[in-house]
Amino acid sequence: DSGVTQTPKHLITATGQRVTLRCSPRSGDLSVYWYQQSLDQGLQFLIQYYNGEERAKGNILERFSAQQFPDLHSELNLSSLELGDSALYFCASSVDPGGRTRQETQYFGPGTRLLVL
């Protein structure tokens, strides 16, 4: 158990719909990362939040957005869903002490499996 929790575990929805995935980081971790794992693309970085603020963006579609709340949990919002958005979505967290070291280990949650029909 990494200490990172994600809900829901599974999500089935229809094209055009909007869903919200939730992540709670490990206690004490300030950074939250979102990754997408699809069959052909492997694990792809989407976005990072640090202490409530967006820090880095990766291959995140404009239809997707995220935020990190004051209690440090994060939500990933996926809208206007398409069949191709079906994937595993992972959240990871790290301590990220703000510059003392850049070499951070990220700990992953169990993921949310999204199926768009």
Partner 1 sequence: DQQVKQNSPSLSVQEGRISILNCDYTNSMFDYFLWYKKYPAEGPTFLISISSIKDKNEDGRFTVFLNKSAKHLSLHIVPSQPGDSAVYFCAASGGGSNYKLTFGKGTLLTVNP
Residue 50: closest CA among 93, 83, 10: 93
Q: What is the DSSP string of 72-96?
A: S-EEEEE-S--GGG-EEEEEEEE--
Comparison of 20 and 45: residue with beta carbon closer to partner 1:
45
Can you name the residues that pair with 23 across neighbouring β-strands?
6, 74
Near partner 1 by CB under 8 A: residue from 32, 76, 87, 107: 107
Contacts with partner 1 in 74-93 (CB under 8 A)? 90, 92
Instruction: Please tell me whether residue 103 binds partner 1 under the rule CB under 8 A.
Output: yes
Instruction: Please tell me whether residue 2 binds partner 1 under the rule CB under 8 A.
Output: yes
Coil/strand/helix, residue 70: coil
Instruction: Give the count of residues interacting with partner 1 (CB under 8 A).
Output: 30
Contacts with partner 1 in 18-57 (CB under 8 A)? 31, 33, 35, 42-45, 48, 55-56
Distance, CA of 37 to CA of 39 (rounded, Å): 7
Comparison of 56 and 117: residue with beta carbon closer to partner 1:
56
The radius of gyration computed from the CA coordinates of the chain, to the nearest angstrom, equals 14
Near partner 1 by CB under 8 A: residue from 72, 109, 114, 116: 109
Instruction: Please tell me whether residue 106 binds partner 1 under the rule CB under 8 A.
Output: yes
